[in-house]
Amino acid sequence: MADPVTILNLIFCIIIVALGYWEYHKKESLIALYIAITFGLFGIAHLGIILGVNSSNIFILTIRSIAYLVIIYALYKTAVGHWSNK
């Protein structure tokens, strides 16, 4: 049986992806879209672990690294004001 924490993390990822997608379509918020993409990637990693992939597998590490890079990019763009509402 899969770890309950990993299953709970996957459920939260799905909720965050849905809310981010919804917010993006309501207000065209790029930061919401990037957050949704990030948690979608984390969700893929959680699903892989639930399906038996080792958490130190290169696939899981790559997916998680990309997710972190996406959120770093989004926060950088927000910090420098590229997505501010004018």
Which runs of consecutive H residues, i.e. helices, occur in 1-86? 4-27, 30-50, 58-79
- The predicted model scores a pTM of 0.89
Are the CB atoms for 16 and 39 separated by under 8 Å?
yes
pLDDT digits (tens, 9 = 90+) for 23-75: 999 999 999 999 999 999 999 999 999 999 998 999 999 999 999 999 999 99
Q: What is the pLDDT of residue 20?
A: 97
CA dihedral sign of residues 23, 61, 47, 5:
negative
12 CB contacts (<8 Å, ≥6 apart)?
none
6 CB contacts (<8 Å, ≥6 apart)?
46, 49, 50
